[in-house]
């Protein structure tokens, strides 16, 4: 495994570090890591960009050729952010899917104790089967995780309250959950606190 020179030139700004396609190319960092998972269109890039205050940062992960890679970013919180592109595998060849799964499993194996995951889901859609699958995978690998509900602004005030109640009743005892909107910036402070807390553990 390679060891990267860190912090980057400007440590006060979030920046793209590298994309990794296979386990043997995984870098090691002397920092904690957070990995963001989410089905495509859930609002992952928007949330990362809003959180990092960089307009097109996470667009990097959507560049053709990078959509099945782990994309590593430096955060000024001195934490490495990993964008794990969407789990909508309907239209990709089996070999690509297998390669991606192998990479993910090796990554999770390697990062125990160093990694916390953020599972993004659309506030309008609650937790879906593919989210449950990732949760199971994380539990098996002993990776702590936080649920992040996106696009909160798309819900009416009443539905926002319903979501909060449901989280309190069904999720709060199992894992932390955050509600966010990249559009209104609601919840970004909570995300910041969560990442800082993990980074300083």
Can you give the binding site for ligand GDP, defined by CB under 6 A?
38, 40-46, 150-151, 153-154, 181-183
Is the Cβ of residue 34 or residue 182 nearer to ligand GDP in the bound state?
Answer: 182
Q: Whose Cβ is closer to ligand GDP: residue 48's or residue 108's?
A: 48
Shortest Å, Cβ 53 to ligand GDP = 15
- Provide the 10 A C-beta neighbour count for residue 172: 11
3 state SS of 31: coil
Residues 82-108 as b/e (b if ≥16 CB within 10 A, e otherwise) read bbbbbbeeeeeeeeeeebbeebbeebb
| Cα gap 136→105, rounded to integer Å | 12
Distance CA 21, CA 103 (A): 7
Tell the smallest beta-carbon distance from residue 200 to ligand GDP (Å): 27
Q: Which is nearer to ligand GDP, 110 or 153 (CB)?
A: 153
Least Å distance, CB 47 to ligand GDP, is 6
Q: Which residue lies nearer to ligand GDP by CB, 166 or 183?
A: 183
Least distance (Å) from ligand GDP to the CB of residue 124?
Answer: 10
How would DSSP label each residue in 156-170?
-HHHHHHHHHHHHHH
């Amino acid at each position: 495994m390679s060891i990267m020179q860190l912090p980057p030139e400007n440590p006060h700004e979030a920046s793209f570090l590298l994309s990794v396609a296979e386990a043997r190319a995984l870098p090691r960092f002397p920092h904690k890591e957070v990995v963001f998972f989410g089905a495509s269109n859930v609002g992952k890039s928007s949330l990362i960009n809003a959180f990092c205050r960089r307009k097109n940062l996470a667009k990097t992960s959507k560049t053709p050729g990078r959509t099945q890679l782990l994309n590593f970013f430096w955060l000024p919180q001195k934490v490495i952010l990993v964008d794990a592109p969407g789990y909508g595998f309907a239209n990709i060849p089996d070999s690509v899917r297998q390669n991606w799964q192998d990479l993910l499993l090796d990554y999770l194996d390697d990062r125990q104790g160093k990694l916390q995951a953020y599972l993004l889901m659309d506030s309008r859609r609650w937790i879906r089967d593919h989210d449950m699958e990732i949760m199971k995978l994380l539990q098996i690998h002993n990776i702590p995780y936080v649920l992040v509900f996106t696009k909160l602004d798309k819900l009416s005030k009443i539905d926002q309250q319903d979501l909060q109640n449901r989280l309190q009743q069904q999720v709060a005892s199992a894992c932390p959950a955050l509600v966010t909107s990249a559009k209104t910036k609601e919840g970004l402070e909570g995300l910041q606190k969560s990442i800082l807390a993990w980074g300083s553990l």
